């Protein structure tokens, strides 16, 4: 953790828009080096490169801007470097790995920014774990110096943690004793669930400011390997070679360039090539419209690779992800996100069949996994979500997942008077039944039909069929099917009602209802972030004028309300 004490400032509110698009040539905090089948990500944070004014990123501490670069680098390893078979995470600075989230940034950030910052960093670390589990690209974290707080959380995302045994290098989660907050909740969950650290050892570890070093860190399962300083570099090289040799990643094929997204911003919206975002600020609504393909799929996997980032499913996923992140961090007053689509469902299904036919191609696999992560991002967005399946829409296959991700879906019965658009239709594909698990490990349809697996089987039997509103409602695929008489009023009342409810109550309601069924490490992380960290970040013991987060680094001890709740 780095130093802190700054006046409260809104960060994302009232300041310039946070942009999640970057590229290696613009990195200020990370260096990506590729040597054959091993890539090394060096964390070398520019102290003066903070996303906002009022703090310096000392000791490799980070803010959201640092993590935006890390997330971008991970995506580029997936798509631009398919030959890489192992990744090493390490510091570019001497005697420190990472001091964690910058405390001056946290002390001055708005509540909404703090929580969304924690959410994005956890999604990025989940992405590192997904990189290993599903792309066959394992990660080794080589710690020389201090890995504190979020720095150790970054290490926890790796498959293998190496710690130099030099008498001073250590790992720690000091947020509770120093700041009266939790280590992003992902840190605690990974210590217990992923590394399976004993409860009593974890209790000592998470309440010890100076952390744990050497043999004790190894014995307590906090790291996987402790190496003397004189042998550390050779050991890291050898371990990277071992992991690369055992990687499941095929390594075949030429990578594609993730070219910059083409976006046009206006006062009330954003236009992408295949996505449009419109803001009705008075009604507190953001409408995201996804447009179907304008050309048939290519005739071969090689032709798909030649299209690169312009291949429609890949381009659409990247644009949707950017749109969701923009709403999360720049549009805090939005109460509801409305998903719409336009296009021909048959053309969307043609792309689904193309991806199925080329499922073994590395690029197809990465595109499917990208969609999985983007859809999870939608699931975890603290806004009310609604899908409007109208005449002329193309909620088919992968795009139908957005309808299943929403809190409610409305489907239009028949056609509007004087409208020649084709009636609303929903089309399922094989992808809806396995390609896109949620954080709970189940597909959205399996979660929907948890009470009766026969309903899931009935839906699967309709794969490839064009389902009208009546049939979709009977199958349980939409919430309401409405005709022209009721449509406008029902949708209007729903959106007005949603905007009138307490945002805090809605966040809790939606987070509790979206993830039925089994609990996983991933679902725990975000449930605990929503409930525990969200609450702690509002308590005076942490953020009050006499709280630990505000007084850290001032020489004054925090003053706590000692009553347990």
| Residue 490 and residue 83 in contact, taking contact as beta carbons nearer than 8 Å | no
* Helix/strand/coil for 62: strand
Which residues are registered as beta bridge partners of 163?
A: 143, 226
Task: Domain count for the chain, please give it.
Answer: 2
* Helix/strand/coil for 465: coil
Q: Is there a domain that residue 161 lies in?
A: yes
In this predicted model, what pLDDT tens digit does every residue of 251-298 receive, in sequence order? 667 899 999 999 999 999 999 999 999 999 999 999 999 999 999 999
Which residues are registered as beta bridge partners of 392?
A: none
Q: Give the CA diameter of the chain.
A: 79
Q: Is there a domain that residue 19 lies in?
A: no
From CA 402, how far away is CA 113, in angstroms rounded?
25
99 and 224 in one domain?
yes
Q: Is there a domain that residue 58 lies in?
A: yes
From CA 22, how far away is CA 471, in angstroms rounded?
44
* Helix/strand/coil for 35: strand
| pLDDT for residue 458 is more than 80 | yes
217 and 283 in one domain?
no
Q: Is there a domain that residue 563 lies in?
A: no
* Helix/strand/coil for 110: coil
| Residues 6+ away with beta carbon under 8 Å from 357 | none
Which residues are registered as beta bridge partners of 342?
A: 291
From CA 20, how far away is CA 195, in angstroms rounded?
31
Give residue 252's pLDDT: 67
In this predicted model, what pLDDT tens digit does every residue of 10-40 receive, in sequence order? 333 445 789 999 999 999 999 999 999 999 9
In this predicted model, what pLDDT tens digit does every residue of 358-415 receive, in sequence order? 999 999 999 999 999 999 999 999 999 999 999 999 999 999 999 999 999 999 999 8
| pLDDT for residue 439 is more than 60 | yes
In this predicted model, what pLDDT tens digit does every residue of 466-477 receive, in sequence order? 999 999 999 999
| Residue 294 and residue 301 in contact, taking contact as beta carbons nearer than 8 Å | no
In this prediction, what percent of the chain has a pLDDT beyond 90? 93
Report which DSSP code applies to 138: -
Which residues are registered as beta bridge partners of 96?
A: 146
CA atoms within 13 A on the CB side of 393: 31
| pLDDT for residue 203 is more than 60 | yes
**Residue written as tokens 């006499």?**
546
From CA 345, how far away is CA 426, in angstroms rounded?
8
Residue of 432, 473, 468 whose CA lies nearest to 349: 432
| Residue 52 and residue 105 in contact, taking contact as beta carbons nearer than 8 Å | yes
Give residue 16's pLDDT: 79
Q: How far apart are the first and last CA of the chain?
A: 27
> What is the domain-level CATH number for residue 145?
3.90.226.10
428 and 282 in one domain?
yes
CA dihedral 559, 146, 66, 43 (to 10 degrees): 170
Give residue 12's pLDDT: 38
97 and 56 in one domain?
yes
Average pLDDT over residues 193-215: 97
Average pLDDT over residues 145-158: 97
Q: Which domain holds residue 356?
A: 264-511
Structure tokens at 173: 């989660």
**Residue written as tokens 């048959």?**
346
362 and 219 in one domain?
no
Give residue 9's pLDDT: 36
| pLDDT for residue 68 is more than 90 | yes
Average pLDDT over residues 120-127: 97
Q: Is there a domain that residue 52 lies in?
A: yes
* Helix/strand/coil for 244: helix
Per-residue confidence band for 418, with pLDDT thresholds at 50, 70 and 90? confident
DSSP 38-73: EEEEEE---TT--SSSS---GGG-B-HHHHHHHHHH
From CA 340, how far away is CA 387, in angstroms rounded?
6
| Residues 6+ away with beta carbon under 8 Å from 228 | 164, 165, 166
| pLDDT for residue 308 is more than 50 | yes
Q: Is there a domain that residue 164 lies in?
A: yes
Average pLDDT over residues 311-340: 98
| Residues 6+ away with beta carbon under 8 Å from 44 | 29, 30, 31, 60, 91, 92, 93
Q: Is there a domain that residue 116 lies in?
A: yes
From CA 496, how far away is CA 343, in angstroms rounded?
28
277 and 414 in one domain?
yes
Mean pLDDT of the chain: 95
Per-residue confidence band for 3, with pLDDT thresholds at 50, 70 and 90? very low
541 and 480 in one domain?
no
Would residue 340 be called left, alpha or beta, if left means φ above 0 and alpha means ψ between -120 and 50 degrees? beta
Could you tell me where the beta strands, DSSP code E, fall in 343-398? Answer: 384-389, 395-396
Q: Is there a domain that residue 521 lies in?
A: no
Give residue 559's pLDDT: 96
| Residue 160 and residue 140 in contact, taking contact as beta carbons nearer than 8 Å | yes
Could you tell me where the beta strands, DSSP code E, fall in 272-319? Answer: 275-280, 285-291
340 and 288 in one domain?
yes
Give residue 15's pLDDT: 58
Give residue 251's pLDDT: 64
Give residue 565's pLDDT: 83
Distances (CA, A) of 383 to 109, 399, 406, 439, 508: 20, 19, 10, 17, 11
243 and 295 in one domain?
no
481 and 369 in one domain?
yes
| Residue 430 and residue 463 in contact, taking contact as beta carbons nearer than 8 Å | yes
* Helix/strand/coil for 269: strand
Give residue 185's pLDDT: 83
297 and 172 in one domain?
no
244 and 271 in one domain?
no
Instruction: Give residue 438's Cα distance to chain centre.
Output: 12
From CA 241, how far away is CA 137, in angstroms rounded?
12
Report the 10 Å Cβ neighbour count for 310.
Answer: 11
């Amino acid at each position: 953790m780095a130093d802190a004490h700054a006046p409260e400032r809104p960060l994302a509110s009232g300041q310039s828009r946070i942009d999640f698009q970057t590229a290696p040539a613009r990195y200020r905090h990370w260096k990506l080096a590729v040597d054959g089948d091993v890539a090394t990500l060096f964390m070398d944070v520019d102290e003066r490169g903070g996303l906002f004014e009022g703090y310096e990123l000392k000791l490799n501490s980070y803010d959201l801007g640092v993590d935006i670069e890390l997330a971008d680098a991970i995506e580029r390893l997936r798509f631009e470097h398919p030959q890489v078979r192992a990744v090493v995470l390490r510091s570019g600075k001497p005697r420190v790995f990472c001091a964690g989230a910058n405390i001056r940034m946290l002390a001055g950030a708005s509540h909404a920014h703090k929580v969304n910052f924690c959410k994005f960093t956890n999604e990025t670390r989940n992405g590192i774990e997904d990189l290993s589990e599903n792309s066959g690209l394992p990660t080794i974290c080589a710690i020389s110096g201090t890995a504190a707080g979020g720095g150790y959380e970054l290490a926890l995302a790796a498959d293998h943690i190496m710690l130099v045994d030099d008498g001073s290098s250590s790992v720690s989660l000091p947020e509770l004793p120093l700041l009266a907050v939790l280590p992003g909740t992902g840190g605690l969950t990974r210590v217990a669930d992923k590394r399976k650290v004993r409860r009593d050892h974890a209790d000592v570890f998470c309440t010890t400011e100076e952390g744990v070093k050497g043999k004790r860190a190894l014995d307590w399962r906090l790291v996987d390997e402790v190496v003397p300083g004189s042998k550390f570099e050779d050991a890291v090289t050898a371990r990277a070679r071992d992991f690369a040799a055992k990687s499941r990643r095929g390594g075949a094929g030429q990578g594609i360039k993730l070219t910059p997204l083409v976006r046009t911003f206006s006062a009330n919206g954003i236009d992408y090539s295949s996505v449009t975002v419109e803001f009705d600020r008075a009604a507190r609504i953001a409408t995201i419209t996804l447009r179907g393909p304008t050309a048939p799929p290519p005739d071969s996997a090689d032709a798909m690779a030649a299209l690169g980032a312009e291949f429609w499913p890949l381009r659409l996923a990247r644009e949707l992800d950017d749109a969701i992140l923009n709403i999360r961090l720049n549009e805090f007053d939005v109460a509801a996100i409305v998903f719409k689509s336009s296009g021909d469902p048959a053309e969307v299904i043609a792309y689904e069949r193309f991806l199925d036919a080329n499922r073994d191609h590395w690029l197809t696999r990465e595109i499917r996994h990208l969609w999985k992560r983007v859809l999870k991002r939608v699931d975890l967005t603290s806004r009310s979500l609604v899908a409007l399946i109208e005449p002329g829409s193309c909620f088919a296959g992968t795009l139908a997942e957005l309808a299943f991700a929403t809190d409610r879906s409305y489907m239009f019965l028949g056609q509007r008077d004087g409208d020649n658009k084709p009636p609303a239709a929903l089309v399922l594909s094989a992808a809806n039944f396995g390609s896109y698990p949620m954080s709970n490990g189940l597909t959205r349809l399996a979660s929907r039909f948890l009470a009766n697996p026969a309903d899931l089987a009935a839906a699967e039997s309709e794969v490839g069929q064009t389902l009208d509103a009546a049939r979709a409602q009977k199958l349980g695929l939409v919430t309401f099917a409405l005709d022209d008489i009721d449509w406008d009023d029902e949708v209007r009342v729903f959106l007005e009602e949603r905007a009138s409810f307490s945002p805090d109550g809605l966040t809790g309601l939606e987070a509790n209802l979206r993830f039925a069924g089994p609990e996983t490490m991933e679902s725990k992380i975000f449930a605990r972030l929503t409930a525990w960290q969200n609450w702690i970040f509002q308590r005076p013991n942490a953020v009050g004028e006499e709280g630990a987060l505000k007084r850290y680094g001032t020489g004054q001890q925090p003053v706590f309300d000692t009553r347990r709740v």
